[in-house]
């Protein structure tokens, strides 16, 4: 029998690829295991082609019913448990890492989101969607109450997430550790020519400031775009306010927001891109990122912006905010419901754009120094205890 630090791993996640925030972190862990020569089983809806063909990797792709993550969760759960059971039957020392409620297996659980802190909701959606969200909420919260307390070890993406797990599920603190997301090398301050080209791609060739919002535009108000919109409407009529807002993110409410912007006569200064893979271009063009979230376990959009040298205003309740140095606490949003206060903050920022960017330089370097590779190694080291398991001690499916 092999020791635990040589045994295979089964990773169950929505995806292992570079196109999504959590998905790129999952991929980094997979690559970290591969580099150590550890056999890896990947169970997911989407797996990067180069991972599928890598030696030592066994891919288990899972289709999504009707393209829905929620409907596909049952298939992902079933396949994940089946692959885990088979792998453990061959080697009882196998480790199984799942994400939150996506698979009911009681071993390692990497928690990116606490649903009890913000249950699924669609406040502004049509009636059928509000009913769907209620059903999803009941289903998801029940799974979370069962799966998280049963894990051997929980990995949280921030101290904020860790506290929520401990407090809401009464889990002993020694069973929950924090591993912050690492920085992807793709996100770094652009050269001046790259920045000019990025701005020109959005039709901006002068010195007008560009403010970015990166986040889904759904009927769930969690990301706080409505608060930014309220602030923008206050600022739009002011002569000294010349900024352009670029909104990057898909979701069911994109069309509604585009119509709202057009009806307000502000389409010349508010560009809603919808879903885009050109986030790096948006950040290269931006002078500021604004994220007035109502709940955010971490905030990779903020992390990536700062890594690109872009200052960011983010709600103080977000997990990423706990990493802000004291000297940047004035960039934290105290009340994500207060559009008037946010407007005042934005107006004040517009008078010192260059100095604010300079203030973020040190913090940007610090974030970039902790790479996704370093994150993956930290997570693997924390979860490899070096002990061997007997078949009797091997983790089993959680009871749902």
In this predicted model, what pLDDT tens digit does every residue of 286-304 receive, in sequence order?
Answer: 999 999 999 999 999 999 9
Q: Does 253 have pLDDT greater than 60?
A: yes
The pLDDT assigned to 162 comes to 98
Q: Does 148 have pLDDT greater than 70?
A: yes
Q: Does 79 reside within a domain?
A: yes
Q: Does 32 have pLDDT greater than 80?
A: yes
| Percentage, residues of the chain above pLDDT 70 | 89
The pLDDT assigned to 1 comes to 43
- Same domain (yes/no): 173, 228: no
Q: Does 195 have pLDDT greater than 80?
A: yes
More confident residue, 239 or 139: 239
pLDDT tens-digit map of 78-116: 999 999 999 999 999 999 999 999 999 999 999 999 999
- Same domain (yes/no): 212, 361: yes
Q: Does 400 reside within a domain?
A: no
- Same domain (yes/no): 238, 312: yes
Q: Does 296 reside within a domain?
A: yes
pTM: 0.90
Task: Look up the domain containing 86 and give its range.
Answer: 9-182+372-383
| Percentage, residues of the chain above pLDDT 90 | 81
Q: Does 258 reside within a domain?
A: yes
Q: Does 340 reside within a domain?
A: yes
The pLDDT assigned to 85 comes to 97
Q: Does 57 reside within a domain?
A: yes
* Total domains in the fold of the chain: 2
More confident residue, 138 or 121: 138
Q: Does 130 have pLDDT greater than 70?
A: no
Q: Does 207 have pLDDT greater than 50?
A: yes
- Same domain (yes/no): 32, 177: yes
Tell me the average pLDDT across 117-125: 71
- Same domain (yes/no): 288, 323: yes
Q: Does 399 reside within a domain?
A: no
Assign 3-class secondary structure to the chain. CCCCCCCCEEEECCEECCCCHHHHHHHHHHHHHHHCCCCEEEEECEECHHHHCCCCEEEEECCCHHHCHHHHHHHHHHHHHHHHHHHHHHCCCCEEEECCCCCCECCEEEECCCCCCCCCCCCCCCHHHHHHHHHHHHHHHHHHHHHHHHCCEEEECCHHHHHHHHHHHCCCHHHEEECCCCECCCCCCCCHHHHHHHHHHCCCCCCCCEEEEECCCCCCHHHCHHHHHHHHHHHHCCCCCCCEEEEECCCCCHHHHHHHHHHCCCCCCEEEEECCCCHHHHHHHCCEEEECCCCCCCCHHHHHHHHCCCCEEEECCCHHHHHCCHHHHHHEECCCCCHHHHHHHHHHHCCCHHHHHHHCHHHHHHHHHCEHHHHHHHHHHHHCCCCCCCCCCCCCECCC
Q: Does 199 have pLDDT greater than 80?
A: yes
The pLDDT assigned to 160 comes to 97
More confident residue, 177 or 391: 177
More confident residue, 73 or 17: 17
Q: Does 352 have pLDDT greater than 50?
A: yes
Mean pLDDT across the chain: 91
- Same domain (yes/no): 157, 208: no
Q: Does 387 have pLDDT greater than 60?
A: no
Q: Does 334 have pLDDT greater than 90?
A: yes
Q: Does 392 have pLDDT greater than 50?
A: no
More confident residue, 220 or 153: 153
- Same domain (yes/no): 62, 90: yes
- Same domain (yes/no): 21, 163: yes
pLDDT tens-digit map of 50-73: 999 999 999 999 987 656 666 678
pLDDT-derived band at 172 (thresholds 50, 70, 90) equals very high
Tell me the average pLDDT across 171-184: 96
Q: Does 3 reside within a domain?
A: no
The pLDDT assigned to 67 comes to 60
pLDDT tens-digit map of 257-276: 999 999 999 999 999 999 99
- Same domain (yes/no): 154, 205: no
Whichever domain contains 313, its CATH number is 3.40.50.2000
- Same domain (yes/no): 162, 14: yes
- Same domain (yes/no): 321, 377: no
- Same domain (yes/no): 98, 197: no
Q: Does 48 have pLDDT greater than 50?
A: yes
Q: Does 348 have pLDDT greater than 70?
A: yes
Q: Does 339 have pLDDT greater than 90?
A: yes
């Amino acid at each position: 029998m092999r020791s635990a630090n040589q045994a295979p791993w089964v990773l169950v996640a929505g995806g292992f690829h570079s196109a999504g925030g959590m998905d790129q972190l999952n991929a980094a862990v997979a690559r970290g295991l591969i580099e150590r020569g550890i056999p890896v089983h990947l169970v997911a809806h989407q797996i990067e082609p180069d991972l599928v063909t890598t030696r030592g990797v066994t891919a288990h792709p899972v289709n999504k019913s009707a393209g829905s993550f929620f409907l596909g969760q049952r298939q992902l759960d079933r396949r994940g448990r089946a692959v885990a059971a088979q792998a453990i039957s061959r080697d009882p020392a196998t480790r199984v890492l799942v994400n939150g409620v996506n698979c009911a297996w009681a071993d390692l659980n990497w928690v990116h989101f606490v649903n009890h802190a913000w249950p699924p909701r669609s406040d502004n959606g049509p009636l059928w969607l509000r009913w769907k969200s209620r059903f999803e909420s009941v289903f998801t919260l029940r799974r979370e109450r069962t799966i998280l307390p049963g894990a051997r070890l929980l990995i949280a993406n921030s101290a904020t997430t860790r506290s929520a797990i401990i407090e809401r599920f009464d889990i002993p603190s020694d069973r929950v550790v924090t591993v912050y997301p690492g920085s992807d090398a793709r996100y770094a301050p652009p050269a001046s020519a790259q920045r000019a080209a990025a701005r020109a791609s959005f039709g901006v060739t002068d010195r007008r400031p560009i403010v970015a919002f990166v986040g889904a535009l759904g009927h769930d108000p969690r990301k706080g775009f409505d608060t930014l919109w309220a602030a923008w409407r206050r600022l739009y009529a002011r002569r000294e306010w010349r900024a352009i807002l670029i909104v990057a993110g898909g979701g069911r409410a994109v069309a509604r927001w585009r119509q709202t912007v057009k009806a307000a006569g502000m389409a010349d200064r508010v560009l809603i891109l919808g879903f885009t893979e050109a986030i790096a271009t948006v950040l290269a063009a931006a002078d500021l990122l604004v994220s007035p979230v109502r709940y955010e376990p971490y905030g990779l959009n903020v992390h990536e912006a700062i890594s690109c040298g872009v200052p960011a205003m983010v709600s103080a309740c977000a997990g990423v905010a706990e990493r802000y140095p004291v000297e940047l606490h004035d960039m934290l949003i105290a009340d994500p419901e207060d559009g008037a206060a946010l407007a005042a903050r934005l107006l004040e920022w517009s008078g010192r754009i260059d100095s604010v960017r300079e203030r973020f330089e040190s913090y940007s370097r610090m974030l970039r120094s902790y790479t996704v590779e370093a994150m993956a190694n930290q997570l693997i080291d924390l979860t490899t205890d070096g002990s061997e398991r007997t078949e009797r001690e091997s983790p089993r499916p959680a009871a749902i």
